[in-house]
Amino acid sequence: MTHTRRSFLKRIGATAAAVTIGGSALGKNDAVTENKPNFILIFIDDMGYGDIGCFGSKKNRTPHLDKMASEGMKFTDFYVTSSVCTPSRSSLMTGCYPRRVNMHVNQRNLCVLFPGDPKGLNPNEITIAEVLKTQGYATKCIGKWHLGDQPEFLPTRQGFDSYFGIPYSNDMGGRSKSKGRPPLPLMEDEEVIEAPVSQDTLTKRYTEQAVEFIKANKDNPFFIYLPHAMVHLPLYASKDFRGKSANGRYGDATEELDWSTGQILKTLKELKLDKDTLVIFTSDNGSNGRNGGSNAPLRGRKGQTLEGGQRVPCIMRWPGRIPAGKTCDALTSTIDVLPTFAKLAGAKAPTDRIIDGRDIMSLMSGKKGAKSPHEAFYFYQMDQLQAVRSGKWKLELGLESRKRNWGKPEGQTTMKLFDLKNDIHEDKDVSAANPEVVKRLLALADKARADLGDVNKPGKGQRPAAFVKKPIKQYLKE
């Protein structure tokens, strides 16, 4: 589909009409700003399940995150919808599987978007930021976007009042114009302010931006989306952290991210915003397993549909609303963030389209008897359905040619069933002993194929991404 350029304000008006309260469209924002919780969503790049202390790391010092977990709740069965950047982020923003919004591959059938890609998240999709804007929220994106670098697809066109960050991964900058890619740009709103960006200080500058935004909006409801550049390769840390960890550059970068989270929590306490703010810390996918990252005790890594690729650490903290020191092992996902935030802000998730996520506040609040709202969770590798989870069961589908994000396909695979409650490492196939479970999960897989599609088969519930006819590589600072 070729996207027709339209103004951001016009789109926000359409969004306000689609997102309703009590069945009626919202009017002026200033009437709905009272008693709204603040939201801070910290999204790390490539952090593994076992990379922070409260999730088992013995290498990386993460005292602030460990304290956050002791004051909040750990989610041990929290999933992203893809094991790589772009599709995972599209789900977080829209509450939908990547195939639903056609962000599972780029226009060349590669697994993520690249600089100058003509494809991006369709501006007709409704993001978390747009839902919250209808409720009077101030919104800011600080960090890596990676949902399209063309002007039509930038955060400022997707519900964010302002943006400070890099538009794609920190390894995607060219060394010179002749290489076909511009130097890695740091952007403020829609302008390049530094190229190539100095990555040594990115985490520090992102933290400063977040603290400043909190202080500037302490009297109004706000939403900060903080998708850090680290710990994606190449690894960087500022001078206060460089060479200080026991885990090389990876540990240095991880410990600075821990410090960053501590600065944000400290600011909330100082401004007496603690009890008014929900803070979520999680990752966009598992670690690639190189340079110090760990997905232990899970099997697999970034780029795979094994648990290590898509189950990620998650901590949620909201004093007085989320019980302290608790753990939730119910199946939850980034697709649940949009409907949960919408409900808490007094809005509704969009009702004019399918949203795959569900409100999980009953789990977050520790409500007795609360269960996962998901009958099933689907593991896609690009356009291929590879596994299904329902309850404690995960079925790896038998495939003629199992796709990989990078490199050659893995070849033919046999169907396997795992009991994740008792076999978190996916070692023992128990399909022979549980034929009824296999039958039920195969039926769920067929349901996903009909709705979301599979290799060379579109799904009836898919929506188009957006494309520009003539993409520009405008991020060259002269």
The pLDDT-based confidence of 291 (bands split at 50, 70, 90) is confident
467 domain-assigned: no
Counting the structural domains of the chain, the total is: 2
Q: Do residues 47 and 53 make contact, with C-beta atoms less than 8 angstroms apart?
A: no
Residue 33 confidence (pLDDT): 52
Other beta carbons within 10 Å of 388: 23
> How far from the centroid of its chain's Cα atoms is residue 14's Cα?
25
Residue 182 confidence (pLDDT): 86
| Residue 19 shares a structural domain with residue 154 | yes
Sheet holding 416-419, edge to edge: 377-381, 384-390, 393-396, 416-419
Find the catalytic residue in 146, 228, 232, 374.
146
Question: Could you confirm whether 96 is annotated as catalytic?
Answer: no
Q: What are phi and psi of 394, to 5 degrees?
A: -130, 125
Q: Is beta strand 138-142 parallel, antiparallel or unpaired with respect to 222-227?
A: parallel
| Residue 383 shares a structural domain with residue 346 | no
Average pLDDT of the chain is 91
- CB burial of 72-109 (b: ≥16 within 10 Å; e: otherwise) equals bbbbbbbbbbbbbbbbbbbbbbbbbbbbbbbbbbbeee
| Residue 232 shares a structural domain with residue 265 | yes
The pLDDT-based confidence of 177 (bands split at 50, 70, 90) is low
313 domain-assigned: yes
Which range of residues forms the domain containing residue 27?
A: 11-364
| Residue 321 shares a structural domain with residue 419 | no
Q: Would you say residue 13 has pLDDT above 70?
A: no
Q: What are phi and psi of 453, to 5 degrees?
A: 95, 180
Q: Would you say residue 5 has pLDDT above 80?
A: no
* 403 φψ region: left (φ > 0), alpha (ψ -120 to 50), beta (else): beta
pLDDT in tens, 305-353: 999 999 999 999 999 999 999 999 999 999 999 999 999 999 989 999 9
Of 337, 364, 391, the domain-final residue: 364
122 domain-assigned: yes
Instruction: Output the CA angle 236-237-240, nearest 5 degrees.
Output: 160
CA separation (Å) from 273 to 41, 161, 169? 15, 21, 32
405 domain-assigned: yes
Q: Would you say residue 160 has pLDDT above 50?
A: yes
| Residue 313 shares a structural domain with residue 450 | no
pLDDT in tens, 62-106: 999 999 999 999 999 999 999 999 999 999 999 999 999 999 999
The pLDDT-based confidence of 184 (bands split at 50, 70, 90) is very high
Find the catalytic residue in 64, 85, 104, 141.
85
Residue 174 confidence (pLDDT): 79
Question: Could you confirm whether 141 is annotated as catalytic?
Answer: no
Q: Would you say residue 379 has pLDDT above 80?
A: yes
| Residue 389 shares a structural domain with residue 358 | no
301 domain-assigned: yes
Residue 7 confidence (pLDDT): 35
- Single-letter residue type at 307: E
Q: Which helix (H) or strand (E) holds 450?
A: helix 435-452
The pLDDT-based confidence of 175 (bands split at 50, 70, 90) is low
* Residue closest to 286 by CA, chosen among 258, 305, 261: 305
66 domain-assigned: yes
* Residue closest to 319 by CA, chosen among 270, 268, 274, 269: 274
| Residue 160 shares a structural domain with residue 306 | yes
Average pLDDT over every residue of 22-51: 72
User: In this predicted structure, which of 24-33, 44-53, 95-104, 402-411 has the lowest mean pLDDT?
Assistant: 24-33
